Amino acid sequence: MNNMLFQIFDLVTTFAMMLVFIRFMLQFAGMDARNPMIAPAYKATHIVDVFGRIFPTVAQGRISIAAIVLMFLIRLIDISGKAALMHKGIAPVPLFFTGTTSLLLDFLRMCRYLVIGSIIVSWIVVFTQSQHPIIGIIISLAEPILAPFRRITPNLGMLDLSPMVAFLAFYLLEIFIGGLAASFMQMLG
């Protein structure tokens, strides 16, 4: 019974984290909340607007500090809830550090998945010559992530290396931060 409760708790917190991440990326990409394909995501994450009254947005409203704080709170609830379900306790300092590093790793992982999604969607567009609104949304969400990599990769015409470079960069950052966090956690005890 406890294992099932643990899995349900994990599913709920992961789903909430993914929703808030999508909301963060929608705002980061500057996508309009009035778009009928995007409006449900904005409505489902209305709590970000409530947190937005406390925490400001930066970069002309594109970076939502409220969404970042909410993702951090969801991650803290996830870690402490899982510890409670396993009948273990967790001290505040390791909880804060674990929450911060796991949030960074989750954010990098979700960005990596978004890059993979944009690669797959670009292949779908090339091979089927169709343009569904969801395809445009995925490409628009990935664009702010890929834009810095497009500036540093050479222009090879039809071949765009920026998604591969971005994927590799996010993967290497994930490994580096994970290793750094593991060694720091050993120092904390």
Region 102-111: mean pLDDT is 90
Share of the chain above pLDDT 90, in %: 29
Asked if the model's pLDDT at residue 7 lies above 60, the reply is yes
Token pair listed for 72: 């951090």
User: CB–CB of 30/62 below 8 Å?
Assistant: yes
User: CB–CB of 46/24 below 8 Å?
Assistant: no
pLDDT band at 13 (very low <50, low <70, confident <90, very high): very high
pLDDT band at 168 (very low <50, low <70, confident <90, very high): very high
Token pair listed for 8: 């349900």
Identify the pLDDT of residue 130.
77
pLDDT band at 171 (very low <50, low <70, confident <90, very high): very high
Query: For residue 156, what are the β-bridge partners?
Result: 159
The tens digit of pLDDT for each residue in 30-84 reads: 888 888 888 898 888 888 888 888 988 888 878 889 999 999 999 999 999 888 8
Identify the pLDDT of residue 160.
77
Asked if the model's pLDDT at residue 1 lies above 60, the reply is no
Region 129-152: mean pLDDT is 86
Query: For residue 64, what are the β-bridge partners?
Result: 57
Whole-structure pTM value: 0.84
Dihedral over alpha carbons 102, 118, 16, 94 (to 10 degrees): 0
Identify the pLDDT of residue 108.
92
Rg (CA), the chain: 19
Region 132-157: mean pLDDT is 85
Q: 2-28 and 65-85 are packed helices; what angle lies between their axes, rounded to 10 degrees?
A: 170
pLDDT band at 189 (very low <50, low <70, confident <90, very high): low
Identify the pLDDT of residue 122.
85
Average pLDDT, the chain: 87
Extended strands (E) in 78-161: none
